[in-house]
Amino acid sequence: MQLIKKLVLASRSPRRQSLLRQIGLQFEVRESGVDEDISVLMPPEETAKLLATQKASAVGKNLDNAIIVGADTIVVLDRDILGKPQSVEGAEEMLKKLSGRTHSVYTGFALLDRPTNQSVADVEKTQVTFRTLSSEEIHDYVRSGSPMDKAGAYGIQDDYGAVFVEKIEGCFYNVVGFPLARFYTAMENFQKHLMGK
């Protein structure tokens, strides 16, 4: 994909950075500083899109000419939103809840153009089923430190996280943290729109 202007990722997530590089994009990274306050009053799809839009807007305020990408991933089990664990105990509790169950992963992303302030936002949903996990497996994984910066306290791309997942329905990359196919199509269409095509 040919970029028509500088691309800025409003996220320090190493997973999102890796996925964007995987499809050949060059970009700057700027952290948004947006508090990921999750509202229980909104459906998860809307929450993910709103947070992604807020992140893109926060970074966009300091840029004159760029396309900014914001993103946010939310894990939902039985209508409960599982954010990033605040403690080791919290991570273990989340993984116990996910064990042997199916949950939903929503990743919202937003594209914001500066200086026109035109924007678009979308969201991808993937269903993830965990096999039943033993207490020892959960303890060992949490002790590795890997779950602590991830929504739902796991990474599907991790050594342990990979063997926890029995099956998925939908986009794999969405569970990693960024729905590549949906984003790629949205980015192409957004650039065409900006160029008046």
For the question of residue 72 being annotated catalytic, the response is yes
- Position of tokens 């997530």? 13
Phi–psi pair at 119, nearest 5 degrees: -150, 160
- The active-site residue, picked from 35, 64, 72, 140, is 72
Report the b/e string of 151-165 with b at 16+ CB within 10 A: bbbbbbbeebbeebb
- Residues 29 and 37: their CA atoms lie apart, in Å, by 22
* DSSP 3-state percent helix, strand, coil across the chain (nearest 5): 40, 25, 35
Catalytic residue list: 72
